[in-house]
Amino acid sequence: MSEKKDTFQFRYSAKQQEEIQRIRAKYIPRQEDKMEQLRRLDQSATRKGSIVSLVIGVLGCLLLGVGMCCTMVWTQDWFIPGIVIGLLGILSVCLAYPLYIRITRKERQKLAPQILKLTEELSNRENQGG
């Protein structure tokens, strides 16, 4: 007769467990904690100003280039309009940063109550040992 041995075998693989957890995390609905929410709000305060100022700056650079092209290539008919176009481009580039500052300031004023509430909650939680 054959003797059957009942044994318990346990195999642990850290790599396999990490992969299981990564796959599992894809299917669990993500909950944003207060610190992540605070970071997201802080980043959103500057996002709108950055986008607007970049668009204005790039368009200003393009206008400056068109103005230079008009004054250097088509000097007969487009010299004076090229100077005006170039000056508009320079003005646009110069206004991009003040526009960024103004929009960012308004966004921060709008988001201030939410951010202050979150920072107060997080500070109280840290002070309580949390």
pLDDT, position 35:
82
CA distance 115 to 38: 6
- pLDDT digits 0-9 by tens, 103-124: 999 999 998 888 888 888 878 8
- What digits encode the pLDDT tens for the residues 45-97? 889 999 999 999 999 999 999 999 988 887 788 888 999 999 999 999 999 99
**Within 10 Å of residue 68's Cβ, how many Cβ atoms?**
15
Give which of 69, 60, 50 is closest to 91, Cα–Cα: 60
Give Cα separations from 34 to 26, 60, 74, 108, 120 (angstroms). 21, 40, 59, 18, 11
Instruction: List, for residues 37-53, the tens digit of each pLDDT value.
Output: 888 888 888 899 999 99
The pair of three-digit structure tokens given for residue 80, joined into one six-digit string: 């004076």
